[in-house]
Amino acid sequence: MDFSLDLLLATGKLAPKVISIGSFGIYLTTLGNPRSLRESRVTLDGLKSWPPTALFRWRRQKPRDGYEVTAYNRKTDEDDTLFPVFHLAKYCPTYLMWPKNGQRTRNAMLRTARITLAVKVFFFFAFFLGSFAALAWLTFTQNWRWTVALVVLTVHQLVFLHSNTYFKWLRWPRLLLICAATWLYLQGGWYETAAICGLGAVLTLMILNVWQMTTSSRFRYQRMREHGYGVLDPKHERGKPW
């Protein structure tokens, strides 16, 4: 084991590259995830279900911003306002494309929804399929150890597909872990393989832990409580004596 200062400096140079390229790659791949595409399609269909006279307005409200809709209610013969009708994923660049000021007609919203869907389709081909194709190509043409990255990415994308939740996974302990793995990799020899495989295994376990957490009833109930939907929707509590 080499504990020299030069190796530590080399680690300081290489680790940020690994972290930034890896994170950015995972982020880009997530943008094109089929789940993201499906959410766009659901938003488009949801907008189509409103009458053409409905008006949409962006409302900033805790715990989560969203769109409210003002539409005519035939039963009460009044204009009803509902909030929220849908949210936007902030991690996605298409968030910036949605209008945030003033009232918008359904037609204007549909136009934006179609454009964002087209952008997501582009992300799917360019980033999602592109990332897997690039890693597969690197595995077969460069080094078999790229398989580890392929496995980590596959697990991460499966988790996102299932949970539709993008986690900020770059926390300090994980960054330190990547730095340690980089230092080990720079030792050379069989340490390279050990560092790559070890880091890949730990990251996979962490991602699986996230998967387990998002599917747990405790997590889902907490989300329902915060966002007021599902069985914890305040509307369901009306008329109950407790």
Where do contacts with other proteins occur on this chain (CB under 8 A)? 51-55, 70-72, 77-79, 103-108
| Gyration radius from the chain CA atoms | 23
105 or 216, CB closer to other proteins?
Answer: 105
Q: Are 69 and 82 in contact (CB under 8 A)?
A: yes
Separation CA 76–CA 180 (nearest Å): 65
Q: State the minimum distance, in angstroms, from the CB of residue 83 to other proteins.
A: 15
Q: What are phi and psi of 141, to 5 degrees?
A: -105, -30
Nearer to other proteins, 54 or 203 (CB): 54
Least distance (Å) from other proteins to the CB of residue 107? 4
Q: Residues 6 or more apart from 54 whose CB is under 8 A from it? A: 69, 70, 71, 105, 106
Provide the minimum distance between the beta carbon of 100 and other proteins in the complex, in angstroms, as a whole number: 16
Q: Which is nearer to other proteins, 110 or 180 (CB)?
A: 110
Contacts 24+ apart (CB under 8 A), 94-101: 94/40, 94/119, 94/120, 98/58, 99/58, 100/58, 101/58
CA angle 26, 145, 210 (to 5 degrees): 40
| Cβ nearer to other proteins, comparing 4 with 101 | 101
Residue 85 beta carbon to other proteins: minimum distance, rounded to whole angstroms: 14
CB of 48 to other proteins, least distance (A): 13
What's the min distance (Å) between Cβ of 35 and other proteins? 30
Of the pair 101, 141, the CB lying nearest other proteins is at 101
Q: CA–CA separation, 176 vs 19, rounded Å?
A: 10
Contact 144, 200 (CB under 8 A): no
Specify whether the CB–CB gap between 57 and 67 falls below 8 A.
Answer: yes
